[in-house]
Amino acid sequence: MDQAANAPSSPSASPNLNWTPQLETGDARMDHTHEEFVVKLNQLLVTPQDQQLPLYREFLDHTIEHFAQEERWMLATGFSEDNCHASHHATILETMRAVIPHFESEDPEIITRLAEALVEWFPQHAASMDAGLALHLKAVGFDSQTETLADPAAVRPASMSGCGSVTCS
């Protein structure tokens, strides 16, 4: 998958996001999902704008599942439903969903602009919120492959509201 993540930039010189070790969180399943996200993001950036909508819909569906996966893990390991990491996901998804009607009615460049913004946003999100979540999962003995806790008694339900660990910083 690495080769696809390193897709060449488009003729319009849109930025792309290369999958690098700096984007890894330390959780193999999370990193696999993130690498898929990067590949799909780069595919959008090299696709002509008049052909982006079907790929964008796939990217949106992937992102919905990507965020839902992390949120399942948060809930299973003691986060409250309204934690700031999940709230951040909700804001991103709200923006992503709003792109489709704008694209269809008036703004054929909006998908490219959003993809370029996500190229800027994602590395910081992965390095802070997601890396913090990965450390928390490891600390409480959560297996993201099976989505199970080694010792469910080790986690107090809905006790955390932070971005990746106990509090936002």
d(CA 120, CA 27): 22
Handedness of CA 87, 92, 94, 95 (dihedral sign): positive
* pTM, rounded to two decimals: 0.85
Q: What percent of the chain has pLDDT over 70?
A: 84
3-state class (DSSP) for residue 68: helix
What would the pLDDT profile of 114-156 be if each residue is shown by its tens digit?
999 999 999 999 999 999 999 999 999 999 999 999 998 888 7
d(CA 141, CA 98): 37
- Per residue, what are the HEC states of 79-142? ECCCCHHHHHHHHHHHHHHHHHHHHHHCCCCHHHHHHHHHHHHHHHHHHHHHHHHHHHHHHHCE
Query: Which amino acid, one-letter code, is at 44?
Result: L
Is the pLDDT at 167 greater than 50? The verdict is: no
Position with higher pLDDT, 114 vs 106: 114
